[in-house]
């Protein structure tokens, strides 16, 4: 089993694959890294050369986008509807500007000003034509592009004839086949102790994603705000450390539902979504 570690989407990543030789593994990895880097560069919120940056700094409200971006946005809009607006690339993109505030007063003022524009209802998509109703709405694919990259990596490996593989981008995991003739066993990390697992689960031709509030946040005047941007009707400030792990057929599915259910555990999920672990602080 060839095992490679690298960094992508600002997180530690790992790919394991069943190949005949180290050379074959290195050749496949080189090809995969080129594609992973392309996705990261094209759909980054922050990189000035990305399509997303160009959209968010547009000078007109109607733009022509690529077929791939159109497909990702259509998928995003589908999940916005399925999660009752909890997952929304326009919500995340528009309100992310508030995290630059140097005071809670400024943070609140930015949120109040931009909230009417922080919704996918402010945009429309037809084929490769993207239209905005105003100049303020921005989009952020941070909640889907890493998961999309995992799924694309799995598809490429399968097309190459690799019979068994694990792809792990910052805890977004997808597997197929077996690991040395045994099922893949995935540990779900204890958010309070990185050296321990809450549980270990077997994964068969599926994806597992974990979402939580404890590791990534922004501090403004010593008040912590989760990196997960939620609608104002939901909880937006950092709750006591908690996380949820979801298994689904695809990584996009698992990732979006783990985030949505973290924000609103009462949200009804589809039958193919399986909750593997829920952890909450009792402090």
Sequence-ordered list of residues with C-beta below 8 angstroms from that of 269, at least 6 positions apart, any chain = 257, 260, 261
Closest CA to 98 of 227, 216, 10: 227
On whether both 125 and 194 belong to a single domain, the answer is no
Would you state the pLDDT for residue 225? 53
Residue 5 gets which letter from DSSP?
E
Sequence-ordered list of residues with C-beta below 8 angstroms from that of 57, at least 6 positions apart, any chain = none
pLDDT digits (tens, 9 = 90+) for 167-194: 999 999 999 999 988 999 999 888 778 7
On whether both 259 and 197 belong to a single domain, the answer is yes
Sequence-ordered list of residues with C-beta below 8 angstroms from that of 21, at least 6 positions apart, any chain = none
Final residue belonging to a domain, choices 115, 132, 149: 132
Would you state the pLDDT for residue 191? 77
Give me the mean pLDDT over the 28-33 stretch: 97
227 vs 31, more confident: 31
Q: Is a pLDDT exceeding 60 seen at residue 121?
A: yes
Would you state the pLDDT for residue 211? 86
Find out whether 139 and 131 touch, Cβ atoms under 8 Å: no
51 vs 195, more confident: 51
Dihedral angle at the C-alpha atoms of 159, 164, 169, 174, nearest 10 degrees? Answer: 90
Give me the mean pLDDT over the 197-206 stretch: 91
Closest CA to 173 of 142, 212, 141, 210: 210
Final residue belonging to a domain, choices 132, 155, 173: 132
pLDDT digits (tens, 9 = 90+) for 57-111: 999 999 999 999 999 999 999 999 999 999 999 998 998 877 776 787 777 888 8
Residues in a beta bridge with 165: 17, 176
In a domain, 27, yes or no: no
Question: H-type helices in the chain, by residue range?
Answer: 22-42, 51-56, 67-82, 89-95, 104-114, 145-159, 251-263
Predicted TM-score (pTM) above 0.85: yes
CATH of the domain at 251: 3.10.520.10
In a domain, 120, yes or no: yes
Sequence-ordered list of residues with C-beta below 8 angstroms from that of 120, at least 6 positions apart, any chain = 76, 77, 80, 85, 88, 89, 90, 91
In a domain, 176, yes or no: no
In a domain, 259, yes or no: yes
d(CA 256, CA 28) in angstroms, rounded, equals 28
In a domain, 86, yes or no: yes
Give me the mean pLDDT over the 219-239 stretch: 54
d(CA 41, CA 108) in angstroms, rounded, equals 31
In a domain, 158, yes or no: no
On whether both 188 and 278 belong to a single domain, the answer is yes
Look up residue 251 and give its two tokens: 């990584």
281 vs 236, more confident: 281
194 vs 213, more confident: 194
For residue 62, the enclosing domain spans 51-132
Q: Is a pLDDT exceeding 60 seen at residue 4?
A: yes
DSSP string, 169-205: ETTEEEEES-BTTB-EEEEEEETTEEEEEEEEEEESS
Look up residue 165 and give its two tokens: 């593989």
Q: Is a pLDDT exceeding 90 seen at residue 152?
A: yes
Span of 113-122, 142-151, 189-198 with lowest mean pLDDT: 189-198
Count of domains observed in the chain: 2
On whether both 199 and 277 belong to a single domain, the answer is yes
3-class secondary structure, 8 = strand
Q: Output the average pLDDT for the chain.
A: 88
Query: In this prediction, what percent of the chain has a pLDDT beyond 70?
Result: 88
d(CA 94, CA 111) in angstroms, rounded, equals 9
What is the bridge-based pairing of β-strands 11-17 and 2-8? antiparallel
Span of 118-122, 244-248, 278-282 with lowest mean pLDDT: 278-282
On whether both 127 and 197 belong to a single domain, the answer is no
Q: Is a pLDDT exceeding 50 seen at residue 238?
A: no
In a domain, 223, yes or no: yes
Span of 46-50, 54-58, 194-198, 277-281 with lowest mean pLDDT: 277-281
Final residue belonging to a domain, choices 110, 132, 154: 132
In a domain, 173, yes or no: no
d(CA 42, CA 75) in angstroms, rounded, equals 17
């Amino acid at each position: 089993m060839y095992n490679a570690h690298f960094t992508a989407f600002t997180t530690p990543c790992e790919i394991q694959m069943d190949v005949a030789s180290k050379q074959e593994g290195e050749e496949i990895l080189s090809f995969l890294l080129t594609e992973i880097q392309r996705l990261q560069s094209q759909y980054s919120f922050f990189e000035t050369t990305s399509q997303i940056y160009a959209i968010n700094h547009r000078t007109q409200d109607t733009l022509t986008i690529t077929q791939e971006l159109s497909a990702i946005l259509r998928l995003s809009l589908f999940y916005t509807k399925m999660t009752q607006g909890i997952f929304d690339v326009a919500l995340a993109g528009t309100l992310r500007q508030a995290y630059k505030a140097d005071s809670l007063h400024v943070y609140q003022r930015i949120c109040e000003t931009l909230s009417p524009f922080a919704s996918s209802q402010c945009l429309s998509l037809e084929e490769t034509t993207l239209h905005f109703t105003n100049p303020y709405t921005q989009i952020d694919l941070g909640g889907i592009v890493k998961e999309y990259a995992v799924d694309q990596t799995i598809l490429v490996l399968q097309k190459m004839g690799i019979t068994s593989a694990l792809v792990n981008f910052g805890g977004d995991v997808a597997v197929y086949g077996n690991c040395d003739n045994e099922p893949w066993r995935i540990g779900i990390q204890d958010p309070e102790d990185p050296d321990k697992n809450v549980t270990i689960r077997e994964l068969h031709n599926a994806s597992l994603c974990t979402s939580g509030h404890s590791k990534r946040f922004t501090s403004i005047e010593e008040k912590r705000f989760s990196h997960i941007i939620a609608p104002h009707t939901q909880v937006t400030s950092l709750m006591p450390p908690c996380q949820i792990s979801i298994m689904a057929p695809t990584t996009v599915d698992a990732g979006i539902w783990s985030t949505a259910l973290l924000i609103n555990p009462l949200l009804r999920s589809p039958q193919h979504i399986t909750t593997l672990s829920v952890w909450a602080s009792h402090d």
